[in-house]
Structure 1
């Protein structure tokens, strides 16, 4: 009888994390769904119950910025004799705002969760993955980790850091049987820019030198059309975890694919003008 596959997912209270947890459970995985705040577990439990897979999902408290809690969860998994087929580093939030309005403290908070948190969780489980000689590590990055956009410098910086760290990690672990993969979604219907989004205090200040640009930028975001269903990304992650030899990067979303294609094919000055125009920060300037 085949041994049960186990996946640990961070940031499973909403968005890609929640959908991936339910998707894997449907595929008969055992899922350790972690989240910083257990009072936000209701959405996951409701979705899992509706899918008939609540019994395959165990919800654990895990704040990826808390090193002691990370160590505790890793120790618990090892002590219970659970194998670790997959680690999905999904926890994160978006700090929006113009670069000169974001404080050092805000920028560090962005990195603490999106980059240092993912790195710390990965390092905590590496000893077990090494002992096993197998396992997948999926880093949920973003197209913003390959192509930066106006008003998203903090978020992009954290994802660029994740990209470089993960690419190096993949090379270090490849011969050990451990697969490292980057998932790069574009805009999807998740909480990343609502409940899990934060606008820097300086950007909200009417005295900001970017005040007029902020208003134009916000109108562009508010007027954006409904985004695609995030289930596409969850299905993609599930397929990656069941592929013994996945590639390094997977891009999801028409907007992400288009942005990366334009960045690759267009002269840099043309691409930059298009990005500024698309963002709306300078009105109709192009």
Structure 2
């Protein structure tokens, strides 16, 4: 393999799909993985350049399935090198904690956290032997800011960030960089892929019914202002091309940095009041 190799999980849509195309344009050999391999046509459709398909390898990969991970390990051994790993596979679930079962929390973590760890562990021997590589983990604004009605997703991203901090300290002696991309609100299908459990809280019998309606209304109202996901894809490829990374976290998106600053600077009661007021929720 004479081209740098990038592995992208969840490449059938959103940031993963767009990043695959951007990496191809920059001359990388892209291994685009997805749970449903039939969705590869979505990537080909948006590529608009058949000459680049020779540098594109589609692989079926379910990050929560042991057999799928084992089959993917064989592909990695054939490639013999990994320069970039973009851990993008994930989905979001919503609902209020009292109404969410432990099994539903586990399902969220299996993809967003444990599955990500499984894939990372597969590529680490290659990067460690090369004494180089970048692991780019798709995090979220939700990894720094909790939000009512989203606790499974928020918790999975908080866990990812803590794990990534430890991993960077472990891998620094081997010349491997870790990066956390923390997007704000972008026009992706994260809420339409995977499992949603907010329906329980939308039932009129739910004690959280009114709060859930207000949160849904806020999300729908803001959709028009969501950013273009291509911005994130271009940022990721630009980051990958840097000789080395000097930071761990990279917030991106309208208002993201300001939100992080205010959350860290303000007393909790003040911050809590701002969030609840934004959602038109009364604080007792």
Query: Which TM bucket (shorter chain)?
Result: over 0.9
Task: For 2:218 and 2:50, locate their aligned partners in 1 and report how far apart those are by CA, in whole Å.
Answer: 36
Shift of 1:149: 1.0
Residue of structure 2 in register with 1:184 after alignment: 182
- 1:206 maps to 2:200: no
Task: For 1:86 and 1:205, locate their aligned partners in 2 and report how far apart those are by CA, in whole Å.
Answer: 44
Shift of 1:52: 5.6
CA contact (8 A) 1:11 1:34 kept: yes
Residue of structure 2 in register with 1:44 after alignment: 43
Using the size of structure 1 for normalisation, the TM-score is 0.93
Task: For 1:89 and 1:279, locate their aligned partners in 2 and report how far apart those are by CA, in whole Å.
Answer: 32
Write the deviation string for residues 116-173 of structure 1: whole angstroms up to 9, x where unpaired: 0101110111112111211111110101011111111110000000000011000000
Counterparts of 1:19-58 in structure 2, within 5 Å, are 19-49=18-48, 53-58=52-57
CA contact (8 A) 1:67 1:120 kept: no
- 1:170 maps to 2:168: yes
Using the size of structure 2 for normalisation, the TM-score is 0.94
Shift of 1:17: 0.3
Aligned with 1:142 (options 140, 143, 146): 140
Residue of structure 1 in register with 2:272 after alignment: 272
Shift of 1:49: 3.0
SS, match of residue 235 in structure 2:
helix
CA RMSD, aligned part only?
1.8
CA contact (8 A) 1:115 1:162 kept: yes
Shift of 1:51: 7.9
Task: For 1:87 and 1:200, locate their aligned partners in 2 and report how far apart those are by CA, in whole Å.
Answer: 32
Write the deviation string for residues 235-261 of structure 1: whole angstroms up to 9, x where unpaired: 111111111221211010123222101
Residue of structure 1 in register with 2:254 after alignment: 254
Task: For 1:240 and 1:23, locate their aligned partners in 2 and report how far apart those are by CA, in whole Å.
Answer: 12
Residue of structure 2 in register with 1:263 after alignment: 263
CA contact (8 A) 2:227 2:254 kept: no
In structure 1, the gaps of 5 or more residues are none
Task: For 1:248 and 1:140, locate their aligned partners in 2 and report how far apart those are by CA, in whole Å.
Answer: 12
Residue of structure 1 in register with 2:234 after alignment: 235
CA contact (8 A) 1:103 1:202 kept: no
Shift of 1:114: 0.3
CA contact (8 A) 2:11 2:89 kept: yes
Task: For 1:174 and 1:7, locate their aligned partners in 2 and report how far apart those are by CA, in whole Å.
Answer: 20
Task: For 1:197 and 1:221, locate their aligned partners in 2 and report how far apart those are by CA, in whole Å.
Answer: 18
Further displaced range: 262-271 or 46-55: 46-55
